[in-house]
Amino acid sequence: MNYPVTRRQLLAAAGAIGTVALVGCGDDGSPQDQALAGNRVGAMDNFGVGTQFKATEALNFSILILSNPAYPYNKDWPFFKEVTTRTNVSFTPTVVPLSDYNQKRSVMVSSGNAPFIIPKTYHPDEEQYVAGGAILAVSDYMDLMPNFKDKVAKWNLQGDLDGLRAEDGKFYLLPGIHEDVWVDYSLAMRTDILQKLNLTVPQTWDELHTVLKAMKAAYPNQFPFSDRWSTPPNPGANNLLANISQAYGTYAGWDWQGTHWDEATGKFVFSGAMDQYKQMVQYLNTLVSEKLIDPESFTQPDDAAQQKFARGRSFVISTNAQSLVNDYRKDIASIPGATVVKIPRLMGPQGAVKAGSRLENGVMISSKARESKNFVAMMQFIDWLWYSDAGQLFAKWGLEGQTYTGKVEDGSFKLASDVKWAGLNPTAPKSLQVDYGFYNGVFAYGGSTKLLNSQFSEEEQEFQQAMAGRRTLPVPPPHPLSADEREQASLWETALHDHVNQQTLAFILGRRPLSEWDAYVTELKGKNMDTYVDMINRAYERFKSKR
């Protein structure tokens, strides 16, 4: 009995039920202090950066908890016990299986039954609840969150944060924040083949072309590159397209966004019609026509691509740190002498850059929480657990001396020898996640680059080092749409995106000659490309003038 719920149904229902109206507050301090006078029970008076939060009386907050099957929720986790010891806070959880978390969240929020704390929300999922008023505009309460404010300032995250803002200029989600862009996905390559053919690891997409040609010359009967991650609706080989589009300075595959910010003209342009997009498609078309990349790369299921790699029928495939170790290495173990590494992201015309969001999934707050007499204490608690250095370290690695030793800052961090996590201490008897409840996706994410690096194997640290040297591109400026505009825009976007996907594939696979590019752009215009881009540009101007 699966009832599909549309966003509109949710909004309508939420509106009809008449959930609590949003209580707005001024941005400056003193009126807010007055407004919050009745909500300070349990709160600390002198809470600030570096302060250990401890509620002045025992408090209990309702929370939505995602239960991950790899480490199912357990109320007896030392994590919860320690949270209570340190902060005097305990939880009343609603436990939801990972499989359908979003749906349950939607139902609970829309029916007015949501817990106060709603973690694991990915932007822009929160937008659907804004109009109903069930979610708190957290940007109004930044003064209650010194650690969050501090990190946003220190890591220069204001631009990223602006991307979350709704048309009213507020944001409704407390995102996980990273100090730097975390690059994980790239290409995996058979290094034994490289050695055998006297090749070096390529650094640019042009060098990859040369390497693939050499591989093809040595193994003429197979495609040296056969890729995966072709789940619809994107055109296929979505990681490959994401990587290469970044190198060329546009969006495609997983990274697809309808509009691309053009610094030179100060306007947004349509990604799928950019010259850079054409160059990227041209490059891939060359690989296909020279039979260097398997044309099935764009359509085959992951298993098929992995099988080809496992059997030595291909030498290059998309990867992340986990797939490399857990899948590919194990898969090729039966091929004598075979070795595989994850190579640093290939570079293109854009040079040594990386792009991406430094924000992650985050926490929504139910509007009802604002009415609670413990509201201030709750915001302080969230600020400590999710955004303070101490809270992040605790949620991730647990207890010093028990689950880990050393310091993250000076690189002396070490997981305790009887505790395992992912690839670390694989034979240890206890699991950091299953037995202790730390490194739980609900509570632990984001943080400083040093904290992030503490989780990597040496091999992965090398990859991270290579990526760390690259310049991080700024995020596009905010251009929030109103609810009506969003609906209209998503209609246009869907039609445009479908067409871009189809034609991208046709161009790459040579089913349509690239000489027809101009005709393709005209087709996009026929699908309201210009009106759509105008709307985004207007929204950008509107938001700029408001601030």
Which residues of the chain form contacts with other proteins (CB under 8 A)?
A: 1-3, 5, 9-10, 13-14, 17, 67-73, 93-100, 104, 107-108, 110-113, 184, 303, 306-307, 310-311, 320, 322-323, 326-327, 330-331, 334, 420, 422-423, 426, 431, 433, 439-441, 444-445
> Do residues 376 and 39 lie in contact, with contact meaning Cβ atoms separated by under 8 Å?
yes
Q: Give strand pairing partners of 341.
A: 189
In the complex, minimum distance from the CB of residue 281 to other proteins, in angstroms, rounded to a whole number: 26
The encoded tokens of residue 426 equal 């694989």
> Do residues 281 and 507 lie in contact, with contact meaning Cβ atoms separated by under 8 Å?
yes
Nearer to other proteins, 303 or 409 (CB): 303
Nearer to other proteins, 334 or 494 (CB): 334
Nearer to other proteins, 93 or 391 (CB): 93
Nearer to other proteins, 94 or 357 (CB): 94
Q: What is the largest CA-CA distance in the chain?
A: 76
| Cα 416 from Cα 399, distance rounded (Å) | 10
In the complex, minimum distance from the CB of residue 115 to other proteins, in angstroms, rounded to a whole number: 9
| Cα 132 from Cα 271, distance rounded (Å) | 32
In the complex, minimum distance from the CB of residue 165 to other proteins, in angstroms, rounded to a whole number: 24
Nearer to other proteins, 75 or 546 (CB): 75
Between helices 529-546 and 483-509, what is the axis angle to 10°?
130
Angle at CA 364, nearest 5°, toward 99 and 431? 50
In 3D space, the residue among 472, 481, 430 whose CA is nearest the CA of residue 127 turns out to be 481
Nearer to other proteins, 2 or 221 (CB): 2
| Cα 398 from Cα 408, distance rounded (Å) | 13
CB hemisphere CA count around 200 (13 angstroms): 3
In the complex, minimum distance from the CB of residue 318 to other proteins, in angstroms, rounded to a whole number: 11
Residue with tokens 């090729």: 332
Nearer to other proteins, 169 or 423 (CB): 423
In the complex, minimum distance from the CB of residue 124 to other proteins, in angstroms, rounded to a whole number: 15
In the complex, minimum distance from the CB of residue 130 to other proteins, in angstroms, rounded to a whole number: 17
Angle at CA 288, nearest 5°, toward 473 and 246? 5
In the complex, minimum distance from the CB of residue 324 to other proteins, in angstroms, rounded to a whole number: 11
In the complex, minimum distance from the CB of residue 491 to other proteins, in angstroms, rounded to a whole number: 23
In the complex, minimum distance from the CB of residue 229 to other proteins, in angstroms, rounded to a whole number: 8
| Cα 80 from Cα 77, distance rounded (Å) | 6
Q: Which residues of 338-367 are buried (b: 16+ CB within 10 A; e: fewer)?
A: bebbbbbbbbbebeebbbbebbbbbbbbbb
In the complex, minimum distance from the CB of residue 442 to other proteins, in angstroms, rounded to a whole number: 9
The encoded tokens of residue 58 equal 């025992």
3-state secondary structure 436-497: HCCCCCCCCCCECHHHHHCCCCHHHHHHHHHHHCCEECCCCCCCCCCHHHHHHHHHHHHHHH
Nearer to other proteins, 310 or 385 (CB): 310
The encoded tokens of residue 447 equal 């943080």
What phi and psi, each to the nearest 5 degrees, are found at residue 279?
-60, -40
In the complex, minimum distance from the CB of residue 333 to other proteins, in angstroms, rounded to a whole number: 8
The amino acid that residue 543 corresponds to is F
| Cα 156 from Cα 429, distance rounded (Å) | 41
In the complex, minimum distance from the CB of residue 352 to other proteins, in angstroms, rounded to a whole number: 24
> Do residues 471 and 249 lie in contact, with contact meaning Cβ atoms separated by under 8 Å?
no
Residue with tokens 């978390």: 101
Nearer to other proteins, 20 or 98 (CB): 98
Nearer to other proteins, 113 or 204 (CB): 113
Would you say how long the chain is, in residues? 547
Nearer to other proteins, 139 or 454 (CB): 454
The encoded tokens of residue 185 equal 């996905």
Nearer to other proteins, 340 or 379 (CB): 340
| Cα 454 from Cα 461, distance rounded (Å) | 9
In the complex, minimum distance from the CB of residue 393 to other proteins, in angstroms, rounded to a whole number: 15
Nearer to other proteins, 106 or 380 (CB): 106
> Do residues 223 and 294 lie in contact, with contact meaning Cβ atoms separated by under 8 Å?
yes
